[in-house]
């Protein structure tokens, strides 16, 4: 295997905190986690131990990374809309690459029990949706300034009306 982070070829089998088996790069301490082994591990740990994160996350720099098993480009997974953490995911190998410190970050975010969900299309779509909703909100805020809060309140109110469509049509038909 070739390390996707530092190109070292020296790996050793290890267990990261909580006993999760992984292949660890001896040079940069990043780990490859097989999702199948991850799922088996999680089943044995109904209450995943929570530990405070101590290490700073090494947030990846935006360079393309290749799966150490298949040599294919790995996908970059967002764990949520706000946190800068990105995980490298190989769909073909069903494995996730974690840089040194990223497991601790996952624990501090309480996402370490959801590694396979994070890799799902559903999770990634919802992160993207949240990001695009937020971009739209920001654009509207910039556009309407102080009126935005009132506008948002009206929208929330309208969303709860059974005849929302008619109300919107009525508002749209108002003369200037
Ligand atoms: Zn490495």
Tell me: the pLDDT tens digits for 15-57? 987 789 999 999 999 999 999 999 998 888 755 444 433 334 4
Model's pTM, two decimal places?
A: 0.68
Residues with Cβ within 8 Å of 161's Cβ and at least 6 positions away in sequence, in order, are: 167
Residue 11 CA, ligand 1 centroid: distance in Å: 8
Residue 159 CA, ligand 1 centroid: distance in Å: 51
pLDDT of 97 above 60 = yes
List pLDDT tens digits, range 123-147.
Answer: 999 999 999 999 988 898 999 998 9
Residue 91 CA, ligand 1 centroid: distance in Å: 20
Give backbone dihedrals phi and psi of 39, rounded to 5 degrees, phi first.
Answer: -65, -40
Residues with Cβ within 8 Å of 101's Cβ and at least 6 positions away in sequence, in order, are: 55, 56, 57, 58
Q: Does residue 90 or residue 57 have the better pLDDT?
A: 90
Residue 55 CA, ligand 1 centroid: distance in Å: 17
Residue 56, pLDDT score: 40
What CA–CA distance (Å, rounded) separates 161 from 167?
A: 9
Residue 15 CA, ligand 1 centroid: distance in Å: 16
Residue 127 CA, ligand 1 centroid: distance in Å: 28
Q: Judging by beta carbons within 10 Å of its beta carbon (0-12, 13-18, 19+), is residue 30 exposed, middle or buried?
A: buried
Residue 41 CA, ligand 1 centroid: distance in Å: 24
Task: Please report the beta strands in the chain, taking only residues with DSSP state E, as ranges in sequence order.
Answer: 11-16, 20-25, 31-34, 75-78, 86-90, 95-98
Residue 43, pLDDT score: 83
List pLDDT tens digits, range 71-81.
Answer: 999 999 999 98
Residue 168 CA, ligand 1 centroid: distance in Å: 57
- 135-161 exposure pattern, b = at least 16 Cβ within 10 A, e = fewer: eeeeeeeeeeeeeeeeeeeeeeeeeee
CB 57 within 8 A of CB 73: no
Residue 30 CA, ligand 1 centroid: distance in Å: 6
Residue 100 CA, ligand 1 centroid: distance in Å: 9
CB 140 within 8 A of CB 153: no
Residue 105 CA, ligand 1 centroid: distance in Å: 18
Residue 122 CA, ligand 1 centroid: distance in Å: 30
């Amino acid at each position: 295997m070739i390390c996707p982070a530092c190109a070292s070829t020296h790996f050793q089998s290890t267990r990261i905190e909580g006993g999760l088996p992984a292949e660890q790069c001896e040079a940069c301490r990043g780990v490859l986690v097989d999702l199948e082994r991850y799922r088996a591990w999680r089943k044995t740990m109904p209450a995943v131990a929570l530990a405070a994160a101590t290490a700073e996350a090494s947030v990846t720099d935006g360079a393309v990374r290749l799966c150490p098993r298949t040599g294919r480009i790995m996908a970059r997974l967002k764990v949520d809309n706000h946190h800068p953490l990105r995980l490298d995911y190989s769909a073909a190998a069903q494995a996730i690459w974690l840089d040194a410190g990223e497991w601790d970050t996952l624990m501090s975010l309480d996402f370490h029990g959801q590694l396979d969900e994070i890799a799902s299309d559903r999770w990634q779509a919802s992160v993207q949706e949240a990001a695009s909703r937020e971009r739209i909100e920001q654009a509207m805020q910039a556009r309407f300034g102080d009126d935005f809060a009132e506008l948002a309140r009206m929208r929330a109110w309208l969303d709860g009306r059974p005849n929302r469509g008619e109300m919107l049509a009525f508002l749209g038909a108002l003369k200037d």
